[in-house]
Amino acid sequence: MSTLNFNKVSIVESLNDSDQKTGQQLAHDLELLEIFHDKGIAVECIQISKPEELLLHIQSLTNDAECHGIYPVLQIEAHGSEDKKSLVLTDGSIRWDELEPYFRELNLATKCNLLIVMATCFGIHSSSIISLLDRAPFWGVIGPEYKISSPVILSSLTKLYTALYTEQNLLDALKLSPDEAELKFITCEWFFVSAYKYYVNNLCNDQALRLRAKSFKKQLRLQGASKLPSDDEIINAFKPNGKEEFQSWLHSFFMIDLFPENINKISINYEKI
């Protein structure tokens, strides 16, 4: 997706007393950027300790987006779990999949303009919650793939926000080449294309469809079905419907059915897949 609209940066910080307070430092720097560039972007840094407080804050942002048209960049300053599945706060943890419905509601309220910045170790793994069969939980997500030190993440995020304020290209600003990037940047547009290609090439080839057909017939037998369809009938039912199915998923995922203008935010179409 090529465009991002936002008018607020909301930093949520949950760090130990001994940790460098990167969120507070960054908020101060952003206030200076706003003074120089006068973009009309509000900046806040909220301190939390419990998962419940984080969820309440996201709900508050959702309400502000729906009622007042305030579209935030949401940055979370915390720690990432070693198994790469959770966000670790000062008093508790919360899994990526527990955050996902709250992200989705906020992204829906912003008309698919939500950028999530995971200032945590392994933060990019929060992208594992995306599913083609549901609405996109965010416009894009930025975060480290591995462990990262506080000074490095502060430096990298300073580049990010300088790019946002000066309208530079995000990829250029973060130097996101495969071997040198400190932060990874994943847009839902990139994910949609990658996931759809995987679905067609790996789950809908002849071998995969025949295995799925046999598994389906086995389930029918276990359920007591007496008359079973042929393998070919099942395979034809499982085959993707080409452009029609692609368009249906695309319009739902990017909320084009709700916000038709979102078609202008994406550059992909069926012929290019």
Residue-wise pLDDT tens digits, 228-250: 888 788 777 777 777 788 888 89
Residues 106 and 203 in one domain: no
Residue 178 has what pLDDT?
Answer: 41
Q: What is the DSSP letter of 202?
A: I
Residues 134 and 239 in one domain: no
Residues 90 and 221 in one domain: no
Residue-wise pLDDT tens digits, 137-175: 999 888 888 888 888 888 888 888 887 777 666 556 555
Residue bearing tokens 């389906």 = 216
And the tokens for 169? 């290209």
Q: Tell me if 246 is assigned to some domain.
A: yes
List the one residue out of 14, 190, 16, 172 whose CA is nearest residue 86. 14
Residues 92 and 209 in one domain: no
Q: Which residue has the higher pLDDT, 265 or 260?
A: 260
What percentage of the chain exceeds 70 in pLDDT? 92
Q: Tell me if 1 is assigned to some domain.
A: no
Number of domains composing the chain:
2
Ranges 92-106, 128-142, 164-178, 197-211: which has the least confidence:
164-178
Confidence band of 27 (pLDDT split at 50, 70, 90): very high
Residue bearing tokens 């720690």 = 79
Ranges 36-40, 134-138, 212-216: which has the least confidence:
212-216
**Domain span including residue 220:** 192-272
What percentage of the chain exceeds 90 in pLDDT? 36
Q: What is the mean pLDDT of the chain?
A: 85
Residues 31 and 66 in one domain: yes
Confidence band of 180 (pLDDT split at 50, 70, 90): very low
Residues 166 and 204 in one domain: no
Q: Pick from 170, 187, 204: which residue ends a domain? A: 187
Q: Tell me if 65 is assigned to some domain.
A: yes
Residues 24 and 150 in one domain: yes
Residues 30 and 43 in one domain: yes
Distance from C-alpha of 137 to C-alpha of 131, rounded to nearest angstrom: 9
Strands laid side by side in the 115-119 sheet: 42-47, 8-13, 72-77, 115-119, 140-143, 184-187
Q: pTM (2 decimals)? A: 0.84
Contacts of 179 (CB under 8 A, 6+ apart): none
Q: Tell me if 206 is assigned to some domain.
A: yes
Residues 110 and 180 in one domain: yes
Q: Tell me if 2 is assigned to some domain.
A: no
Beta strands 92-95 and 8-13 are: unpaired
Tell whether the model's pLDDT for residue 218 goes beyond 70: yes
Residue 224 has what pLDDT?
Answer: 83
Q: What is the CATH number of the domain that holds 136?
A: 3.40.50.1460
Distance from C-alpha of 46 to C-alpha of 117, rounded to nearest angstrom: 15
Residue 255 has what pLDDT?
Answer: 94
Residues 45 and 61 in one domain: yes
Q: Pick from 187, 222, 256: which residue ends a domain? A: 187
Residues 48 and 88 in one domain: yes
DSSP structure string for 45-84: EEE--SHHHHHHHHHHHHHHHHHH---EEEEEESEE-TTS
Sequence-ordered strand ranges (E) for the chain? 8-13, 42-47, 72-77, 79-80, 86-89, 92-95, 115-119, 140-143, 184-187
- The rounded Cα 17 to chain-centroid distance in angstroms is 29
Residues 69 and 131 in one domain: yes
Give the residue-averaged pLDDT of 72-88: 89
List the one residue out of 166, 57, 40 whose CA is nearest residue 102. 57
Confidence band of 181 (pLDDT split at 50, 70, 90): low
Of these ranges, 72-86, 98-112, 116-130, 257-271, the one predicted with the greatest mean pLDDT is 98-112
Distance from C-alpha of 62 to C-alpha of 64, rounded to nearest angstrom: 5
Q: Pick from 187, 202, 227: which residue ends a domain? A: 187
